[in-house]
Amino acid sequence: MKDNTLKYLLVMPAVLVVFATAIWPLIESLRLSFTVGRLNRPGSLDQYLGWENYSWAMLYEPAFWNSVQVTAIYTVVTVGLTTLLALGLAMLLVPGGRLRSGVQTLLILPFAMSPALIGVSFRFMFNPEFGLFDAFFGVLIPPLADVSWLANPTLAFSVCVMADVWGWIPFLTLVLIGGLASIPRDTIEAAQVDGAGGWRVFRDVTLPQLLPVLAVVIILKSIFSLKTFDQIYMLTNGGPGTATQTLSHYIYFNGMKYGQIGYASSVAWLMVIPMIFLTYAYAKFVFRKR
Amino acid sequence: MTGKQKKKLMNAIQVTLILIAIFIMLVPILWIFLAAFKNHIDVFQLKLLFTPTLENFKSVFAPPYYLGRKLVNSTIVALVTVLIAIPAATTAAYAFSRFRMVGETAMLVTVLATQFVPAVVIILPFFVMFRDLGLLDTRLGLIIVNLAIVMPFAIWMIKGFIDGIPIDTEEAAMVDGSSRVQVIRNIVLPMAAPGLLTAGIFCFIISWNEFLFALILTNRDSVTLPIGLALFKAEEGDLWNLLSAAGIIIMVPMFILALIIRNYFVQGMTMGAVR
């Protein structure tokens, strides 16, 4: 067989799968977002409604804007905290040696853990009566001893953030270690010979060279933070009230619990918009090297 | 303080910080391990010393929880997803790596982009379709939607590995009269084997841990392990000892798989974007 025919045969199965499982549902959910789309009303999935779902979400649904706000704050806080802490840990681990490479191996474990299980585990750790982290915080900050973490909106949000940061630090750390390790040693040594202190070396030599990796890490983590669902569902299920209801959770609730597939699809598409920008930014980095 | 003393002090501070970090990273996992072996009274206390019991592991597999069925579902769904995804991704990755095609960049960007589409967006139409086709609460339905998240990963990851294989051997074999298919079977596949294993394990872990699709599509017959966790939220509160035992069954196999491919782990996740 000629290579010219063969190459298209080789890509065909995978491309078909991607189209059927990802592209088709994307287009179909866009169509649904313009319909009445009630699960319990036959025919409503084809009943054209125009932009009404979108305008309903944006003009009349405080709960939608609440979930936008929760997701936005959640994303900014988790991306910021995870990146900073991971950078710190990566700086500590990059010199190598037995202890440090052993720690690097252990870091893989939280990352292989199911996010739903991370949610369960943090609910356990912050139980007011027998949670270990609750006990720690009680000793460190006495007013927080024995509080019902998940019953207080601010504290529940903080627990969700901590669970997220805990789950993502390992991956970001490992990526940043890779980035740090690829910085030529001699540029750092040259700066040290010139008398630059630790902080100056980091700011003027290490950080600028790490910037591309850091940018990719921040984009990737933003994408994952925006989508957050699993841990939230297991930890707080969006509560108390709607204090921790992320966009994914809001869409899930409207689509699956209330059966408003059309409305849920329109919110889902509103969520796709920031994703497009982030994916574009990410793709630019990936294709930069080709 | 002399320079040497200062260096020693700095190192001590660093080691302390590393130990604190690793303590925080491991303590939630260790706590699950402890709780899984505590009885239903000890689990409601902070104590470290207790008489360990295997009772919880017996309970989770017994009625009314039947965790064994969820274990079977999770294994079959993840395994079949991988067995479909890896061969298809491998041939595609080879073509993307070795040939120039019409619309190649468009296809690669599309594949990359679909990976970031939120799961909630694509599950809504699938729910409607599966309801009409009678595929709700079936393993087949789960396998189909899992392919959506696994496939783009697999293509990019395997392409990264094949890009790293030198093209010379292939060309030499072609000159000696081997066909392209023979080259792929006899040269490329053996050399890419570690990469395929890595991608396979990676996709297996992703499917195994997948939550949202299974939450929406299953309710009785094809419930997977992560959804099974919700069983242990009883009216009288969470059954932490059973939750922990189930947690161990979910996470330990994935720990083992992840450690097998630890050297490729990060590389795989970022698909060569960060290097």
Instruction: Supply the pLDDT for residue B161.
Output: 87
Give the separation between CA B206 and CA B265, rounded to whole angstroms. Answer: 13
Q: Give the number of C-alpha atoms closer than 13 A to the C-alpha of residue B37, restricted to the C-beta side.
A: 10
- Ordered structural domains, chain B, with CATH: 3-55 (no CATH), 65-270 (1.10.3720.10)
Phi, psi for residue B10 in degrees, rounded to 5: -60, -45
Q: Is the pTM for the entire model greater than 0.90?
A: yes
Chain A residues in contact with B180 by the CB 8 A cut-off are 1, 3, 6
Nearest-CA distance B16 → chain A (Å): 10
Instruction: Supply the pLDDT for residue A289.
Output: 58
Whether chain A has a CB inside 8 Å of the CB on B48: the answer is no
What does pLDDT average to over chain B? Answer: 89
Residue in A75, A37, A82 with CA at minimum distance from that of residue A214:
A82
Instruction: Supply the pLDDT for residue B272.
Output: 44
Across the interface, which of A20, A125, A268 has its CB nearest the CB of B121? A268
Instruction: Supply the pLDDT for residue B1.
Output: 62
Nearest-CA distance B198 → chain A (Å): 14
Chain B residues in contact with A82 by the CB 8 A cut-off are none
Whether chain A has a CB inside 8 Å of the CB on B271: the answer is yes
Work out whether the CA dihedral A135, A137, A142, A147 comes out positive or negative: negative
Give the separation between CA B231 and CA B66, rounded to whole angstroms. Answer: 10
Least confident of A28-32, B41-45, B206-210, B263-267: B263-267
Which DSSP helix (H) or strand (E) runs through A163? helix A153-181
> CATH number for the A62-287 domain, one of 3.60.15.10, 3.30.1360.170, 1.20.1070.10, 1.10.3720.10?
1.10.3720.10
Instruction: Supply the pLDDT for residue A283.
Output: 85
3-class secondary structure for chain B? Answer: CCHHHHHHHHHHHHHHHHHHHHHHHHHHHHHHHHHHCCCCCHHHCCCCCCCCCCHHHHHHHCCCCCHHHHHHHHHHHHHHHHHHHHHHHHHHHHHHHHCCCCCHHHHHHHHHHHCCCCHHHHHHHHHHHHHHHCCCCCHHHHHHHHHHHHHHHHHHHHHHHHHCCCCHHHHHHHHCCCCHHHHHHHHHHHHHHHHHHHHHHHHHHHHHHCCHHHHHHCCCCCCCHHHHHHHHEECCEECHHHHHHHHHHHHHHHHHHHHHCHHHHHHHHHCCCCC
Q: What is the pLDDT of residues B189-210, one digit of tens each?
A: 999 998 899 999 999 999 999 9
Residue A88's identity, in one-letter code, is G
Q: What is the pLDDT of residues B23-32, one digit of tens each?
A: 999 999 999 9
Q: Judge whether B119 and B213 are in contact, CB under 8 Å.
A: yes
Chain A residue with CA closest to B146: the answer is A21
Q: What is the CA radius of gyration of chain B?
A: 24
pLDDT at B271 over 70: no
Higher pLDDT, A172 or B237: A172
Instruction: Supply the pLDDT for residue B273.
Output: 41
Q: What is the ipTM of this complex?
A: 0.91
Q: What is the pLDDT of residues B142-179, one digit of tens each?
A: 999 999 999 998 998 899 889 888 888 888 888 888 88
| CB contact (8 A) between residue A116 and residue B209 | yes
Nearest-CA distance B28 → chain A (Å): 6
Give the separation between CA A253 and CA A236, rounded to whole angstroms. Answer: 14
| Residues paired with A35 in a beta bridge | A48
What angle (nearest 5°) sits at the alpha carbon of residue A93, between those of residues A91 and A96? 125
Instruction: Supply the pLDDT for residue B177.
Output: 87
Whether chain A has a CB inside 8 Å of the CB on B32: the answer is yes
Question: What is the mean pLDDT for each group of 10 consecutive residues in chain A (290 residues)?
Answer: 86 94 94 93 89 93 96 97 96 86 88 91 87 85 83 94 95 90 84 82 89 90 94 92 95 94 95 91 76
* Residue B268 banded pLDDT, cuts 50, 70, 90: low
User: Residue A288: exposed, middle, or buried by beta-carbon count in 10 A (0-12, 13-18, 19+)?
Assistant: exposed
Instruction: Supply the pLDDT for residue A95.
Output: 84
Whether chain A has a CB inside 8 Å of the CB on B160: the answer is no
Whether chain A has a CB inside 8 Å of the CB on B22: the answer is yes
Chain B residue with CA closest to A22: the answer is B148
Whether chain A has a CB inside 8 Å of the CB on B261: the answer is no
pLDDT at B275 over 60: no
pLDDT at B265 over 80: no
Chain A residues in contact with B238 by the CB 8 A cut-off are 123-124
Chain B residue with CA closest to A16: the answer is B88
Residue B58's identity, in one-letter code, is K
Instruction: Supply the pLDDT for residue B71.
Output: 96
Domain boundary assignment for chain A: 62-287
| CB contact (8 A) between residue A32 and residue B105 | no
Whether chain A has a CB inside 8 Å of the CB on B263: the answer is no
